[in-house]
């Protein structure tokens, strides 16, 4: 007689029910395991285990039994049904057939499946990885664990794998993407969700297979090849993760055993009206285990370097997108979702403790306090937060005709009021170039010359402003069209005048940022930034300096008017020579090249006895142009 549960016991599931199992995928789901039979010796097959505490009966069905259900048995006292099937191995497709309390039956995919069929198919697939990471991968992980990410350069290239170069598989992407990203000088890629999802138009944000990489592009081990190829070129991998909500597809997580199992039972807390989805029941121990295990799974098993948590604001507030009377206050009468806050702290704290060098990033669109403060200081424990306020303000400013920008000058300076309240990433993401918002180039008014020149200036402002940078694919070569996941990028324009100039500028700024610590080392510290002139609204011009710990100083000027200023007066923090290291109007960026500071700018000492008095200088600033000057002494 062999073990009918495939070596799974009630003791194994105690942590799952108490909320302490952070690798629940090792116990639940499908696993190829060997069991011992008293008469036949060791036997190999697959253990199936699924949590469905309110089901009357559960069967497993698949291509191993001609899709006829075989009964599973209740593991006593656990709410989990399990069975072991001899001879079933990797590649087997399966589903669970669950009988509800009212007697009705429903087919469900495995919440813990590590591979799934290619849509429109949805069957779960038995999978065991035999991937062997190379020696260089361990070197990457060791280096990552020793890196101070806050004081390091972080220039992120966000992309949708299915449409970056449409039609490429994970293996083909592994051959092409790392070389391009490295050539552009980015330090990280950020993938929109790679988890299994049925509807392409959701871009992966409505997940049905939380543990399964999207099969449209290949197998889980193919995805590992892509991650390792990026690491081999020194490029970190950030994955978007969606713990806030999930879709209502009747074959997925929703009403899994006929009851609200993964979602909150009360629709005022368990449904997200904006997206027509269910909201996880964050206070339920088994759901907490599902989510924390999933986060750790991608970091641990696929070597992701960071998770960017989507739609955090929708998790934090009970009244998010709900009218009066459509939400339930917390036990103190407030609007904060205390269970979600506890979950986020739990996930962040656990991942930072388990995986040295990992980074947790919040897409949080409100002013919720302490998003990037440590959990033991009362914060949520994220490493970085997307600066949505900076993004909204700056894009509003950019869309104005230059003649009106002087009346909205504070749109570009306001971010400094709160710049050090959190550790920020400055995002120009996919959300800003879809659904009628226009591409970055087409947000800018007037003719092509002004569009391209203004965009180059904006990018120079963004790359020199405190915070890490994120840019969505296609915007690095000023794609004209909105992004469309069905079409892919317009790669044929990237070598044309204007477009190529923007791409060369991004590459150059990434190189300069890597070389000069003043442009990244103190992104999260107020000592790294000083205004030269924050109030020159009349000239639509901003000027400031960036500093590092060792005395490097870089002066940055951004002129958003169409007027050139060949003798623009500024005060610089030190007297002496300042050498131009960047002009967005340079010929190599398809600019005019007419307003270069060919010779060093000389800052003349103040005539006062004040040792802290700034020195005066005259700088040539092109129309709709950005200039960076480095202090040479």
Q: Are 244 and 150 in contact (CB under 8 A)?
A: no
Q: Are 542 and 496 in contact (CB under 8 A)?
A: no
CA distance 117 to 63: 13
Determine which helix (DSSP H) or strand (DSSP E) holds 501, and give its type and residue range.
helix 499-515
Q: Are 83 and 72 in contact (CB under 8 A)?
A: yes
Q: Which two tokens stand for residue 591?
A: 């600019």
Provide φ and ψ at 588, rounded to 5°.
Answer: -65, -20
Determine which helix (DSSP H) or strand (DSSP E) holds 288, and give its type and residue range.
helix 285-302
C-alpha angle 296-220-468 in degrees, rounded to nearest 5: 55
CA distance 340 to 311: 12
Going through 454-497 in order, the beta strands assigned E by DSSP cover 468-472
The percent helix, strand, coil of the chain (3-state, each to 5) is: 30, 25, 45
Kindly list the catalytic residues: 310, 363
Which position has the token pair 């696929």?
302
Q: Are 179 and 191 in contact (CB under 8 A)?
A: no
- Which residues are 107's β-sheet partners? 97
Query: In this structure, which long-range contacts are made by residues 428-432, counting pairs with CB atoms below 8 Å and at least 24 apart in sequence?
Result: 428/391, 428/395, 428/462, 428/470, 428/471, 428/472, 428/475, 429/158, 429/386, 429/391, 429/470, 429/472, 430/158, 430/160, 430/192, 430/203, 430/472, 430/483, 432/391, 432/395, 432/472
Nearest residue to 239 via CA among 247, 230, 248, 249: 230
Determine which helix (DSSP H) or strand (DSSP E) holds 462, and give its type and residue range.
helix 448-464
Tell me if the bond preceding 527 is cis, omega within 30° of 0: no
* Dihedral, 175, 92, 160, 164 alpha carbons, nearest 10: 40
CA distance 224 to 489: 24
Which position has the token pair 């590649």?
91
CA distance 162 to 169: 8
CA distance 347 to 358: 12
Provide φ and ψ at 105, rounded to 5°.
Answer: -115, 150
Can you give 356-417 as a three-state secondary structure string?
CCCEEEECCCCCCCCCCCCHHHCCCCCCEEECHHHHHHHHHHHCCCHHHHHHHHHHCCHHHH
Q: Are 306 and 295 in contact (CB under 8 A)?
A: no
């Amino acid at each position: 007689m062999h073990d009918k549960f495939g070596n799974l016991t009630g003791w194994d599931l105690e942590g799952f029910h108490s909320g302490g199992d952070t690798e629940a995928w090792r116990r639940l789901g499908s696993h190829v395991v060997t069991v011992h039979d008293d008469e036949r010796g060791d036997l190999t097959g697959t253990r199936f285990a699924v949590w469905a505490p309110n089901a009357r009966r559960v069967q497993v069905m698949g291509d191993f039994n001609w899709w006829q259900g075989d009964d599973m048995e209740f593991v006593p006292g656990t709410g989990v049904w399990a069975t072991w099937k001899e001879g079933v191995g990797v590649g087997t497709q399966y589903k669970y057939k669950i009988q509800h309390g009212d007697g009705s039956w429903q087919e469900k995919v495995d919440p813990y499946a590590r591979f799934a069929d290619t849509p429109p198919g949805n069957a779960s697939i038995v999978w065991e990885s035999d991937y062997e990471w190379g020696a260089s991968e361990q070197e990457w992980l060791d280096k990552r664990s020793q890196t101070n990410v806050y004081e390091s350069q972080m220039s992120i290239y966000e992309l949708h794998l299915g449409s970056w170069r449409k039609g490429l598989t994970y293996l083909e992407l592994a051959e092409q993407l790392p070389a391009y990203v490295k050539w552009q000088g980015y330090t990280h890629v950020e993938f929109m969700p790679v988890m299994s999802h049925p509807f392409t138009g959701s871009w992966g944000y409505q997940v049905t297979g939380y543990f399964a990489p999207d099969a449209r592009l290949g197998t889980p081990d193919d995805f590992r090849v892509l991650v390792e190829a990026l690491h081999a070129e020194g490029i970190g991998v950030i994955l978007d993760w969606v713990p806030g909500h999930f879709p209502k597809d009747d074959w997925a997580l929703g009403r899994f055993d006929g009851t609200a199992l993964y979602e909150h039972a009360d629709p005022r807390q368990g449904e997200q009206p904006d997206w027509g989805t269910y909201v996880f029941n964050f206070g339920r121990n088994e759901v907490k285990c599902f989510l924390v295990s999933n986060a750790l799974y991608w970091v641990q098993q696929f070597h992701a370097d960071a998770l960017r948590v989507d739609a955090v604001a929708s998790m934090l507030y009970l009244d998010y997108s709900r009218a009066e009377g459509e939400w339930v206050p917390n036990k103190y009468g407030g609007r904060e979702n205390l269970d979600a806050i506890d979950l986020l702290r739990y996930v962040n704290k656990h991942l930072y403790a388990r995986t040295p060098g990992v980074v947790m990033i919040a897409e949080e669109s409100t002013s919720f306090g302490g998003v990037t403060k440590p959990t033991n200081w009362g914060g949520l424990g994220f490493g970085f937060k997307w600066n949505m306020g900076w993004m909204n303000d700056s894009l509003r400013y950019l869309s104005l005709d230059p003649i009106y920008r002087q009346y909205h000058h504070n749109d570009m300076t306001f971010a400094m009021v709160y710049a050090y309240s959190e550790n920020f990433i400055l995002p120009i993401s996919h959300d800003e170039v879809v659904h009628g918002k226009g591409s970055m180039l087409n947000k800018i008014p007037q003719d092509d010359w002004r569009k391209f020149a203004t965009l180059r200036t904006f990018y120079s402002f963004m790359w020199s402003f405190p915070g890490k940078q994120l840019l969505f694919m296609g915007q690095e070569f000023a794609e004209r069209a909105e992004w469309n996941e069905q079409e892919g990028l317009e790669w044929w324009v990237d070598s044309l005048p204007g477009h190529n100039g923007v791409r060369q500028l991004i590459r150059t700024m990434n190189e300069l940022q890597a070389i000069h610590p003043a442009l990244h080392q103190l992104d999260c510290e107020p000592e790294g930034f000083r205004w030269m002139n924050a109030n020159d609204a009349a000239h639509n011009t901003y000027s400031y300096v960036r500093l590092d710990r060792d005395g490097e100083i870089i002066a940055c000027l951004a002129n958003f008017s169409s007027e050139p200023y060949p003798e623009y007066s500024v005060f610089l923090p030190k007297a002496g020579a300042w050498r131009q290291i960047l002009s967005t109007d340079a010929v190599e960026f398809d600019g005019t090249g007419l307003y270069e500071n060919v010779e060093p700018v000389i800052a003349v000492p103040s005539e006062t006895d004040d040792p802290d008095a700034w020195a005066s200088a005259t700088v040539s600033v092109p129309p709709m142009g950005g200039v960076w000057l480095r202090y040479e002494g």
